[in-house]
Structure 1
């Protein structure tokens, strides 16, 4: 369904029914301009048996409208408006990759709203770019010219066709086991919004740094990451887990950037066990 959230038509889906007795979980996708609700559907949609799960395309992504600004203040405000729409005073916030950035941004601004925080393959600031670029250069799966890498990371994509071509070149880096046959299917499945990506990577992310504020987040937190994650390496999740007052870190040894897809049974068990404990405490 399309909802008017802060003046923008957002593509939203509520999984698990409308029973207000079920706790709410809001899951945020990564990759502004590339991502969509399909990623959090796969990562957290299975929790609909015991949660009301909101998945959505953020403004400027997926099927949602292209209504700027595309910045952290606005994306966090949209999360809170979805919480209010669902009628929940407190909820579980979940997000992966750039969605993890926004999950932590929400958590440090509204710590009183959270029952628990679930993070996947993310980072507390933008300094991970240097490690990611080193990993891309060292990989035998890709051979991407420096100019093209720089345009992607610096938010200087030319148009949606350019965005699609750059994404195709980067995709082999994301998985633990390389499957060339899956690349084109993934490329074809995406709605491309190059202006959203450019705003996020050239401007919004430049001031992103939640490290000084993570001590405010006192709810239980689960931090997960794939051992072979190239773009937000394990060291980033270790840093997050050290800075959060009540966090546990789980590393998935046979995953790249997406343990929910590469080790689904273990990921689901880890998340389920964590949420059972966290909500019992709450």
Structure 2
């Protein structure tokens, strides 16, 4: 598909049921929802965000532009209104889209997001080093050096290994297959813009959001879950599901529980938004 500023984005649809628009993590990564199974009642609308994966490797990379791209994907698939499911950074992108275009979002599923503030990083880094254990020195070595493509992939696999409670290496390898270059420019620019927006400003905006929202946390996620509390408290219509013994990618570690949480929420809440 082509955006209004002429950028080519990769997108696909799978399944025959109710459409749900998926926003992947990053920023600067690609769609990894090929492993997401919500059952036959849903049709997954997937896409690679601007500058990443199979999409054209060109910016600009701003939050407003990324939100506009979400809207373009929705429109390209011919939908007036759709549930949006976002994971990690994609959860924040889905939230920003719901805040900007609430009339286009029937429900928001906010999976493993990191909340509205930025004071969670220090705890995350401690958790990450602890979980990675004796593999952390190699991760630090790779992080500090100039890397070729094989070393870039090795670094990513090591980092993603810590996102899982069990079988982390195998699952991280699967996430890195197929492999695409990481877009560090998009990551840096979008992360900087996110840090510049005060938490209180986002809290104030969320208080007026009438889109029903499901927050899904894996309680063993390295990213501290208290970081999401201010979002939960600000939203007028929110359900929160906490999955014990689950890391950052809950649909892989607790697929049945995750599928049930999303289906139950959309059955009970999606039609209640204005």
Same fold (TM over 0.5): yes
Indicate yes or no: 2:62 matched with 1:71.
yes
> 2:139 & 2:52 partners in 1: Cα distance?
25
**Deviation string for 1:43-97 (max 9, x for gaps)?**
3x535x4444311111112111111112211110001112222332222111010
CA distance in 1, matches of 2:169, 2:83: 36
Q: Structure 1: any 5+ residue segments left out of the alignment?
A: none
Query: Residues 87-106 of structure 1: matches in 2 within 5 Å?
Result: 87-106=78-97
TM-score by length of 2: 0.85
User: 1:220-266: CA deviations, max 9, x gaps?
Assistant: 11000101101x32212333222211101111102100111100001
Q: Secondary structure at the match of 2:136?
A: coil
Q: Is the 8 A contact 2:132 2:162 kept in 1?
A: no
Residues 112-151 of structure 1 aligned to structure 2 (within 5 Å): 112-123=103-114, 124-139=116-131, 141-144=133-136, 148=140
Structure 1 pair 258–183 and aligned structure 2 pair: CA distance change class (3 A) = closer
Cross-structure match for 1:5:
3
Provide the secondary structure at the position in 1 that maps to 2:10.
strand
* Residues 156-193 of structure 1 deviation map (CA, whole Å, 9 limit, x = unaligned): 98775564343133122110114434544544532122
Answering whether residue 214 of structure 2 is matched by residue 219 of structure 1, we say: no
1:189 to 152, 165, 178: 178
Q: CA deviation at 1:140?
A: 5.1
Q: 1:32–1:197: 8 Å Cα contact kept in structure 2?
A: yes
User: For 2:187 and 2:78, how far apart are their aligned partners in 1?
Assistant: 33
1:42 is the counterpart of 2:35:
yes
Which of residues 188, 200, 203 in structure 2 aligns to 1:199? 188
1:61 corresponds to: 52
Task: Label 1:165 to 1:116 Cα distance change in 2 as closer, same or farther (>3 A).
Answer: same
1:234 aligns with one of 225, 228, 231: 225
Tell me which residue corresponds to 1:25.
20
TM-score, normalisation: structure 1: 0.82
Alignment RMSD (CA, Å): 2.9
- Corresponding position of 1:271: 262
User: Partners in 1 of 2:138 and 2:230 — Cα distance?
Assistant: 28
CA distance in 1, matches of 2:14, 2:254: 22
How many Å separate the matches in 2 of 1:185 and 1:222?
27
Query: Does 2:225 match 1:253?
Result: no
Indicate the SS of the match to 1:223.
strand
Task: State the number of aligned residues.
Answer: 268
1:23 Cα offset (Å): 5.0
User: Contact 1:238–1:249 at 8 Å: present in 2 too?
Assistant: no
